[in-house]
């Protein structure tokens, strides 16, 4: 809660009693709340909020009684927004101080909201809100409504004027790529609770703007898929919430408006670029926990890079280096579809990706998730038509190797993970009558290689 220039803003969440989840792993899951989201069951929620008539209420999902709490002008604008791909103002900045922008003066009004297949709800109230909206186009011809509410000091062409646009694009992209958004509305709220998600509603900062506002909006909206649709237990397995969500929001940043806000790096993580220092420090740190560690078993300083960034990087490795986009996307979509409104465990995710991907991935789960193992390939020898490559770490991954030949040609070789599963070294033989001049491991720097100083060797450097 806090004071904007035009009035108070109240962000209300985690405000009603909830039922503990009874799942097939532990029965009643009664772990106490520690800041990680509650583990919640699904159902239908019908709720009413009585507030001073001067206030606008933004609530999770659909407003059921607009004629009782909005003006005719606002209702007409909402109707227009439901058919518009461009943002439509429901209440403008100049109307915030206009008493006529509310259907009555003094007293209270009661707002009625309803939502199905939900695990949570939140709401926000303020007399200072500007309100805008636009239509979202979902698969199979379905529609939903993107909205934003924000005080006057948040407005601006590089700030909250674009919030609804960000919500709309993010949900349309994730709906097409992964699983259709199932609820009638989604709303972003500018307030004092920056960077927090609830079902169909996200709280971002009053002063957020530019690239950061886009990144934050995409990330928090992404939580509608993890854990709002796929109901994983962040209290026990944060990577299934934050890691999966960080993975999908990176793709949204890469595609929005031709990549205007990409690539998203999160300071410590980037896809398709130099592996992040934070991840390598995590792999080198004997105190760092494995990904499969309960949320209260490590500090925030370690937990954040592990659950968010190592979790996301694992998904990128699985998609780009191990399964490939086609197999990964099919398997991950099926995982989301099969576990929508249910409660998967890590083993359910592992089995889903192996089954959908058609490959035994136990070596990857063991090295990346169950342990904090290090990956370090080296070029040991370049001798005539042979190159010897060693794996000095415990983690195994497939690797791309660039081989230059003395005749000026170049070959790119994909070494499968089987090269390291039973031994630490692999000898690659060049095609007949080809002589190797140099070898470079992972030339695009997409793998978490711990020591890049040993990733390249020329023939004259070979040890005989």
Q: How far apart are CA 398 and CA 446, in angstroms?
A: 11
Residues 279 and 352 in one domain: yes
Q: Take residue 143 and report the two structure tokens written for it.
A: 């529609």
3-state per-residue secondary structure call for the chain: CEECCCCEEEEEECCCCCCCEEECCCEEECCCCCCCCCCCCCEEEEEEEEEECCCEEEECCEECCHHHHCCHHHHHHHHHHCCCCCCEEEECHHHCCCHHHCCCCCCEEEEEEEEEEECCCEEEEECCCEEEEEEEECHHHCEEEEEEEECHHHCCCCCHHHHHHHHHHHHHHHHHHCCCCCCCEEEEEEECCCCEEECCEEEEECCCCHHHHHHHHHHHHHCHHHHHHCCCCCCCCHHHCHHHHHHHHHHHHHHHHHCCCCCCCCCCCCCCCCCCHHHHHHHHCCCCCCCCCCHHHCCHHHHHHHHHHHHHHHHHHHHHHHHCHHHHHHHHHHHHHHHCCCCCCHHHHHHHHHHHHCCCCHHHHHHHHHCCCCECEEEEEEECCEEEEEECCCCCCCEEEEEEECCCCEEEEEECCHHHHCCCEEEEECCCCCCEEEEEECCCCCCCECCHHHCEEEHHHCCC
Q: What is the pLDDT of residue 185?
A: 98
Residues 326 and 410 in one domain: no
Rounded to two decimals, the pTM is: 0.94
Residues 369 and 401 in one domain: no
> Quick one: CA torsion of 220, 132, 95, 106, rounded to 10 degrees?
-70
Residues 295 and 352 in one domain: yes
Residues 221 and 344 in one domain: no
Q: How far apart are CA 218 and CA 170, in angstroms?
A: 6
Q: What is the pLDDT of residue 266?
A: 54
Domain with 263 in it: what CATH number?
1.10.390.10
For residue 450, the enclosing domain spans 377-461
Sheet holding 196-198, edge to edge: 88-91, 130-137, 143-150, 185-191, 201-205, 196-198
Q: What is the pLDDT of residue 38?
A: 83
Q: How many domains does the chain have?
A: 3
Q: What is the pLDDT of residue 67?
A: 98
Domain with 408 in it: what CATH number?
2.60.40
Q: Average pLDDT by consecutive 10-residue portion of the chain (464 residues)? A: 91 89 92 81 96 97 96 98 98 96 97 95 96 98 98 96 98 98 98 90 95 95 96 92 94 90 61 58 88 83 87 95 97 98 97 97 97 95 94 95 96 94 90 93 93 92 46
Domain boundary among 311, 342, 373: 373
Residue 422: strand pairing partners: none
Residues 14 and 161 in one domain: yes
Domain boundary among 229, 261, 289: 229
* 8 Å CB contact between 246 and 308: yes
Q: How far apart are CA 404 and CA 412, in angstroms?
A: 9
Q: How far apart are CA 365 and CA 348, in angstroms?
A: 12
* 8 Å CB contact between 246 and 219: yes
Residues 427 and 360 in one domain: no
Q: How far apart are CA 457 and CA 453, in angstroms?
A: 10
Cα angle 139, 140, 144; round to 5: 60
Q: What is the pLDDT of residue 463?
A: 46
Q: Take residue 101 and report the two structure tokens written for it.
A: 């922008």
Q: What is the pLDDT of residue 276?
A: 56
- The total number of residues shown for the chain amounts to 464
The label of the residue with tokens 């992040």 reads 276
The label of the residue with tokens 């409504």 reads 145
Q: Take residue 447 and report the two structure tokens written for it.
A: 């793998």
Domain boundary among 175, 205, 229: 229
Q: Take residue 463 and report the two structure tokens written for it.
A: 């040890």
Residues 266 and 177 in one domain: no
48-69 burial, b for 16+ CB within 10 Å, e for fewer? ebebeebbbbbbbbbbeebeeb
Residues 266 and 303 in one domain: yes
Q: Take residue 44 and report the two structure tokens written for it.
A: 């239908």
Cα angle 387, 392, 395; round to 5: 115
Residues 291 and 414 in one domain: no
Residues 124 and 20 in one domain: yes
Residues 314 and 187 in one domain: no
């Amino acid at each position: 809660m806090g004071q904007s220039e035009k009035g108070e803003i109240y962000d209300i969440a985690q405000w009603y009693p909830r039922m503990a989840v009874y799942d097939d792993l532990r029965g009643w899951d009664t772990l106490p709340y520690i800041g990680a989201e509650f583990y919640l069951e699904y159902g239908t929620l019908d709720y009413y909020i009585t507030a001073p008539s001067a206030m606008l209420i933004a609530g999770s999902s659909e407003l059921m009684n607009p004629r009782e709490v909005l003006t005719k002008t606002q209702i007409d604008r909402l109707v227009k927004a439901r058919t518009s791909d461009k943002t439509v103002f429901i209440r403008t900045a100049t109307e915030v101080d206009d008493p006529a922008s509310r259907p009555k003066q003094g007293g209270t009004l009661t707002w009625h909201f309803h939502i199905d297949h939900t695990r949570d709800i939140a709401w926000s109230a303020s007399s200072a809100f500007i309100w805008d909206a636009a239509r979202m186009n979902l698969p199979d011809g379905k529609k939903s409504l993107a909205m934003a509410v924000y005080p006057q000091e948040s407005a601006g062409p590089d700030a909250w004027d674009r919030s609804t646009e960000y919500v709309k694009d993010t949900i349309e992209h994730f709906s097409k790529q992964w699983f259709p958004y199932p609820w009638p509305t989604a709303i972003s709220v500018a307030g004092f609770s920056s960077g927090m998600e609830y079902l169909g509603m996200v709280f971002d900062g009053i002063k957020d703007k530019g690239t950061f506002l886009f990144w934050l909006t995409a990330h928090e909206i992404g939580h509608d898929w993890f854990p709002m649709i796929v109901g994983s237990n962040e209290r026990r397995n944060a990577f299934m919430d934050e890691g999966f969500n960080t993975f999908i929001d990176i793709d949204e940043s890469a595609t929005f408006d031709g990549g205007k806000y990409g690539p998203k790096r999160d300071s410590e993580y980037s896809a398709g670029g130099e592996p992040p220092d934070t991840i390598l420090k995590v792999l080198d740190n004997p105190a760092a926990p494995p990904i499969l560690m309960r949320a209260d078993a490590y500090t925030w300083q370690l937990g954040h890079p592990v659950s968010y960034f190592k979790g996301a990087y694992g998904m990128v490795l699985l998609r780009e280096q191990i399964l490939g986009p086609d197999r990964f996307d099919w398997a991950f979509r099926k995982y989301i579809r099969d576990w929508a409104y249910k409660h998967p465990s890590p083993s359910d995710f592992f089995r889903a990706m192996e089954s959908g991907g058609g490959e035994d991935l136990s070596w990857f789960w063991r090295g990346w998730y169950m342990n904090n193992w290090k990956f370090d390939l080296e070029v040991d020898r370049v001798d005539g038509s042979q190159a010897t490559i060693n794996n000095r770490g415990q983690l195994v991954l497939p690797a791309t190797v660039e081989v230059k030949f003395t005749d000026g040609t170049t070959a790119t070789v994909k070494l499968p993970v089987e090269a390291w599963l039973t031994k630490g070294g692999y000898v690659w033989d060049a095609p007949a009558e080809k002589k190797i001049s140099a070898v470079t491991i992972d030339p695009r720097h997409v793998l978490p290689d711990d020591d890049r100083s040993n990733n390249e060797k020329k023939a004259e450097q070979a040890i005989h």
